[in-house]
Amino acid sequence: MSKYDVIVLGSGPGGYVTAIRASQLGLKTAVIEKESLGGVCLNWGCIPTKALLKSAQVFQYLNHAEDYGLKVDNPDKDFTKVVKRSRDIAEGMSKGVQFLMKKNKIDVIMGYGTLKKGKKVSVKDDKDKTTEYEADHIIIATGAHSRELPNLPQDGKKVIGYRKAMTLDKQPESMIVVGSGAIGSEFASFYNDMGTKVTLVEYLPNIVPLEDEEVSKQFEKIYKKKGIKVMTNSSVESVDTSGKKVKATVKTKKGEETIEADIVLSAVGIKTHIENIGLEEVGIKTDKDKITVNDFYQTNVPGYYAIGDVTPGPALAHVASAEGIICVEKIAGQKVEALDYSNIPGCTYSNPEIASVGMTEKQAKEAGYEIKVGKFPFSASGKASASGAKDGFVKVIFDAKYGEWLGCHMIGAGVTDMIAEAVLGRKLETTGHEVLKTVHPHPTMSEAVMEATAAAYDEVIHL
């Protein structure tokens, strides 16, 4: 039986990053993966969706070339090639992870891993051969998959999940997207920009419901302007797939409505991969579909750990990576800090993008803070105007007493690349005054952060 210091079950952005850091710390490490190195994020999530969204953005540029003084006659697209580009990029990234595994001398074990007592993992390969491996420390990083609702069963043809949405043979003329979180909003954006008639259905009062209310309202306004039919306070009660098209019965405040479309995309959240991996046999505790862990990702059973989507934190790639690094550094005996979950950035890569960190205005008020709020619209930004990207704004929230940066919320072009300023500023306990007095380059979109801060302190210049 092969013996390791660390075995990581799953090779997504949590698993492979954890394995690399473990190897850097001198620990003999192996990764077990049942499908493709890089996991869902790299192969079926974060990376390929961004490739699709980039193609849609370029197509939109071509369709609006005259806005920039350019002439492009009858722009068209090849949907098959758009999908192929996305898949090629994902494949290339997966090969990159393979290279990193070799570079860091990490053993890659392909197959389905099942936890066993005594710090062991049983792996069944594609030929049904089973091999057991042993380690001092076993880290569960098995991630999650698309959640299915009983009234919205996925048949992979007319009712699909996010995987199928990335690899359709042909572009649908119409689509109903159920759920307006990051996944639903991104696919609604992609298909709308490519020319599909999109209806976005959200059960809660606002789309992107976790965002600041002003961001949600602006997002809905922009989506409607783009031609997306937005239905809030609504739910898909049932679907009829017997005809040529799918008929969805949608319950609204005004009653039930039947909508026809070529395809229904279910984007109602994720389900963790914790079934049939041996948790019960080992005795590892779970709660509400999540593995229970302490601040350093130790489960209730010594020697077994869990990170990423299978734990209670936000189901985000960058969170999984950070958790994995903290986990193995603690195993290696390093002095480490627990992760600050109040300072995790969230990003939605739609058109326009959304990015946020910290408290919303409502949350800050509910927490009892006296606050200063500043907002700066991109319509007043020289760089945004020159770029033809004037939709959106930056909103900042500060504690009025001490100047603590409580939250930052952005909607607009490229804001997912801008949010790191707020994350770093909050990590370093930056005050509103310090942000205001930090010289930002002109002309840039990032100036809006300084300008929004100036607005909070009644010193705004360009508004």
Q: What is the side-by-side order of every strand in the sheet holding 174-178?
A: 159-160, 263-266, 174-178, 197-201, 229-231
Q: What is the pTM of this model?
A: 0.94
DSSP string, 30-92: EEEESS-TTHHHHHHSHHHHHHHHHHHHHHHHHHTGGGGT----S----HHHHHHHHHHHHHH
DSSP 8-state class, residue 314: -
CATH number of the domain located at residue range(s) 352-456 in this protein? 3.30.390.30
Give the HSE-up count for residue 4: Cα atoms under 13 Å, Cβ half-sphere.
29
The rounded percent of the chain whose pLDDT value lies above 70 is 100
Decide if pLDDT at 422 tops 90: yes
**CB-neighbour burial class of residue 324 (10 A; exposed 0-12, middle 13-18, buried 19+):** buried
Superfamily of structural domain 2-146+271-341: FAD/NAD(P)-binding domain (3.50.50.60)
pLDDT, tens digit, for every residue of 188-229?
999 999 999 999 999 999 999 999 999 999 999 999 999 999
CATH 3.50.50.60 fits 159-268, yes or no: yes
DSSP string across 371-406: EEEEEEEGGG-HHHHHHT----EEEEEEETTT-BEE
Q: What is the mean pLDDT of residues 21-33?
A: 97
According to DSSP, residue 213 is labeled H
Q: Would you place residue 44 in the very low, low, confident or very high pLDDT band (cuts 50, 70, 90)?
A: confident
Question: What is the H or E stretch that residue 225 is in?
Answer: helix 213-225
Span 280-300, pLDDT tens digits: 999 999 999 999 999 999 999
Q: Is 441 helix (H, G, I), strand (E, B) or coil?
A: coil
pLDDT at site 244: 94
Structure-derived torsion over alpha carbons of residues 166, 209, 223, 351, reported in degrees to the nearest 10: -50
Per-residue pLDDT at 6 exceeds 90:
yes
Which strand (E) or helix (H) includes residue 331? helix 317-331
Binding residues for NAD(+) are 179-186, 202, 269
Pick the closest to residue 32 from 51, 6, 50 (CA basis). 6
Looking at the chain, which residues constitute the CATH 3.50.50.60 domain(s)? 2-146+271-341, 159-268
Residue 462: the pLDDT is 87
Integer-rounded Cα radius of gyration of the chain: 24
Q: What's the mean per-residue pLDDT of the chain?
A: 96
Q: Which of 358, 307, 364, 365 lies closest to 331 in space, CA to CA?
A: 307
Give the SS3 label for residue 2. strand
* Residue in this structure with the two tokens 């949600």, named with its chain if needed: 216
CATH 3.30.390.30-classified regions of the chain = 352-456
Residue-wise pLDDT for 226-246, tens only, equals 999 999 999 999 999 999 999
Q: What digits encode the pLDDT tens for the residues 436-460?
A: 999 999 999 999 999 999 999 999 9
Residue in 64, 145, 409, 442 annotated catalytic: 442
Check if 440 is active-site: no
Binning pLDDT at 50, 70 and 90, where does residue 1 land?
low
